[in-house]
Amino acid sequence: MKKNDLIFLLAALIVILPFFVSDRVYEYYLLATNTHPYAMAFLKFAILATAGESIGLRIKNKMYNYPGFGLAPRAIVWGILGVGIAIAMKVFSAGAPRMVESLGIHGVVDAMSGPFSGEKLLGAFSISVMMNTFFAPVFMTFHKITDTHILENGGKLRALITPIPMRRIFGELNWQTQWSFVFKKTIPLFWIPAHTITFLLPPTFQVLFAALLGVILGVLLSIAAVLSRETHKA
């Protein structure tokens, strides 16, 4: 194990360990999540999803960061995206179960606030399907565009205040990889099942679990990047 791996693991322990050794820290977390849900969503995604990108970079390029990668602007962008995800989760959590009930399947809305049941599983699945169908493709594409923009600005914080050349970057995306891997494979095979589990959890932990999935997203994006390079070589 290299020095950077030890530093990364130590940092992860510093962040995680207090929640296991102190009930007060855990209580403060619950209070902050309930009273400031969007600020906490920003922090959760800024920390965890960015860590996921670093892990993906470690897998792909044997390093957690490099000049020009832009961990700081990526963390801020992830935080902003995290707020959007938290809002989307509330919107789809409220609407999808009612859509299912409009099809004649009763008890789904009430089941979402109760213990595990077939109706709750159906409700969680419907939320996941709707969110990953209507929200996720736009989110994933925009995230890819912001990543490209940050790289083009040398990983500097100025990328956050520099206008994004949206039309050019959008046209230059590798849509073969974006469609055949990111959309066609990760959404039905990973994100829909994973978010079904997310919406079975108590609301206090749903955004946290979604942010933890960002660690896995970092690994998936690193695989997508490798596939993209191979496609361009071909």
Enumerate residues 6+ apart whose C-beta is below 8 A from 5.
58
Q: pLDDT tens digits for 159-211?
A: 999 999 999 999 999 999 899 888 998 899 999 999 999 999 999 899 999 99
Q: What is the pLDDT of residue 218?
A: 67
12 CB-contact burial (10 Å; exposed 0-12 / middle 13-18 / buried 19+) = middle
Average pLDDT, the chain: 90
Q: What's the longest Cα–Cα distance across the chain?
A: 58
Please report where in the chains the tokens 């990760």 appear, as a residue: 186
d(CA 57, CA 226): 11
If pLDDT is split at 50, 70 and 90, which confidence band does 228 have? low
**Whether the predicted pLDDT of 123 surpasses 60:** yes
Q: pLDDT tens digits for 196-209?
A: 999 999 998 999 99
Contact 207, 86 (CB under 8 A): yes
171 CB-contact burial (10 Å; exposed 0-12 / middle 13-18 / buried 19+) = exposed
Enumerate residues 6+ apart whose C-beta is below 8 A from 164.
145, 146, 149
Number of neighbouring beta carbons within 10 Å of residue 59: 13
Give percent of the chain above pLDDT 90.
Answer: 65
If pLDDT is split at 50, 70 and 90, which confidence band does 221 have? low
Contact 141, 178 (CB under 8 A): yes
**Whether the predicted pLDDT of 234 surpasses 60:** no
Enumerate residues 6+ apart whose C-beta is below 8 A from 86.
37, 38, 41, 207
DSSP of 174-187: -HHHIIIIIIIIII
Put simply, whether the predicted model's pTM sits higher than 0.75 gets the answer yes
The beta-carbon contacts of 228-234 under 8 Å, at least 24 apart in sequence, are 228/174, 228/177, 231/174, 231/176, 231/177, 232/174
**Whether the predicted pLDDT of 230 surpasses 70:** no
Q: pLDDT tens digits for 29-58?
A: 899 999 999 999 999 999 998 988 888 888
